Structure 1
C-alpha cells in the first residue's frame, strides 16, 4: 500500500506517473467510446478544470493502489502530479463529479476486463475502499455477518 506520510524518491513517483499516463490514454479512449452524449455534453462541461477522463483516471489509480482515504489520495495527487495535471479543482468538486460518474466508471471497468480477457472469470475485485457496515465494537458478533467470517482489521 502506498503510505502517504512517507517521502518517496523521484524514481518511484516517476514510475507511478508513467502508469498514470498510460492509464489515462486507455481510460480516455474508452470514455470517448462508451459514454453517452448527454453525459459528455452536459451543462457547464466546458467550464470544468479537470476533464471527466482525468478524474476517472486519478480515482481508479487510487483504488488500484488501495488508498483508503479520498482526502489523502487527493492531497497526494495534487501535490505530486502537478506536471501531469497543471490545474486541480477543489476536493469537494472532484469527489462530487467522481460520484456522479459512477455508472461510467463501472462501464470502463467492464470494458477493461473484457479487453484483458477476464470476462469468463466469475471473481473480480470491484472496489478496494472499505465500507463500514456496523459499529467497531459490534464487528465480531453482529448477527448479519455471523457465519460469514466477517472481521475487522
Structure 2
C-alpha cells in the first residue's frame, strides 16, 4: 500500500475499535469537544512514529503541510494537549489489539531491557528533568554509563510486545522481571543478566521456566543453556528494540516528566503492535515493517 492507504487503514482500524474500548466511559466531563477526533489524533501519532517523526512539533508540521485534506480540523493550539491527554486511550487500544486481534503463543516469551537515557552523560549532574526519578545505570551494549531509565519488556512468540515496565536505570533486570512476568506461565528466555538460580527457582513455583545462558560463557555449566538455537530465538527481542530505537528514536527523550515520557513510549508501542497486526493479516513476515508502505 502507499502512504495514503496506510493512513486510511490505520484510521479505520482505530475508529472501529474506539466504541468497543470506551463502552460507556466518557473521555471528557466538561469543556468543549476538540475539533479533531481522537481517532484522527491517534492515527497521526501512529503514522508519525512509523515515519520517524518522534516530536509533536515535527508531527504537526508534517501533517499540516502534506495532509490537511485528510485532517481539515487540525489546529496547532490544541493538538499537543490532546495528544498528551489520550495516553490512557492509546494504552487501551494497544491492550485490545494484543489480547483480541493478534494471535501469538504466550507459552514462549522473551524478556530483556533497553536503556532510555534522558540526557547526555556529561549533562547529567545539572539535568533538572526527571530529578529524583532517573538514575545512573550501565549500558552493556555500548559499554558505558548512562543517566535515565530502563524499559523492561516481555515479547511473546513470534515477536509481539505484550508487557512493559519502565524502571530507573539502576534497577537490575533480575529485580524487575518478576513484575514483568506476573501472571505469565511457560518458557521464558533471557540473556546472561537473568542467570540467577534463586530467581529461577522462585519463578518455577509460579509455573515459569526461565532459561538464560550461564554468566561465564566458557564454563562447563554453560553447555546445556547456550545452544545456537536458543540464542537465535532470544535475539528476536533485539530486533524489536532496534526497530523502536531506529525508527521511533526511542532513546531521544524530549519529555520533561514521566507522564509525557510514558505517552511517547505508548505511541511507539502502539505503532509497533498495529504494524505487526497488519503483517499478520496479510500473512507477511511479521517484523518487516518497511514492506507496509511502498
User: Structure 1 CA distance, aligned partners of 2:81 and 2:136?
Assistant: 31
- Deviation >6 Å, runs of 4+: none
Tell me which structure has the larger Cα radius of gyration: 2
Distance 1:45 1:122, change over 3 A: farther
Alignment correspondent of 1:65 = 51
Verify the 8 A CA contact 1:20 1:57 in the aligned structure 2: yes
User: Structure 1 CA distance, aligned partners of 2:40 and 2:47?
Assistant: 11
Alignment correspondent of 2:290 = none
Distance 1:80 1:147, change over 3 A: closer
User: Structure 2 CA distance, aligned partners of 1:123 and 1:61?
Assistant: 27
1:51 to 25, 32, 37: 37
Alignment correspondent of 2:80 = 95
The alignment of Structure 1 onto Structure 2 pairs a total of residues equal to 129
User: C-alpha displacement at 1:147, in angstroms?
Assistant: 5.1
Verify the 8 A CA contact 1:23 1:57 in the aligned structure 2: yes
Give the match's secondary structure for 1:87: coil
In the superposition, the TM-score normalised over structure 1's length comes to 0.68
Matched, 1:29 2:21: no
- Structure with the larger RCO, 1 or 2 (CA within 8 Å, 6+ apart): 1
Alignment correspondent of 1:109 = 94
Larger proportion of strand:
2
Alignment correspondent of 2:3 = 16
User: Structure 2 CA distance, aligned partners of 1:122 and 1:107?
Assistant: 22
Alignment correspondent of 1:78 = 64
User: Structure 2 CA distance, aligned partners of 1:119 and 1:24?
Assistant: 28
Alignment correspondent of 1:144 = 136
User: C-alpha displacement at 1:63, in angstroms?
Assistant: 1.8
User: C-alpha displacement at 1:135, in angstroms?
Assistant: 2.8
User: Structure 2 CA distance, aligned partners of 1:135 and 1:112?
Assistant: 35
User: Structure 1 CA distance, aligned partners of 2:39 and 2:49?
Assistant: 15
CA RMSD of aligned residues (A): 3.1
In the superposition, the TM-score normalised over structure 2's length comes to 0.38
Larger proportion of helix:
1
Any gaps of 5 or more consecutive residues in structure 2? 125-134, 145-250, 253-294
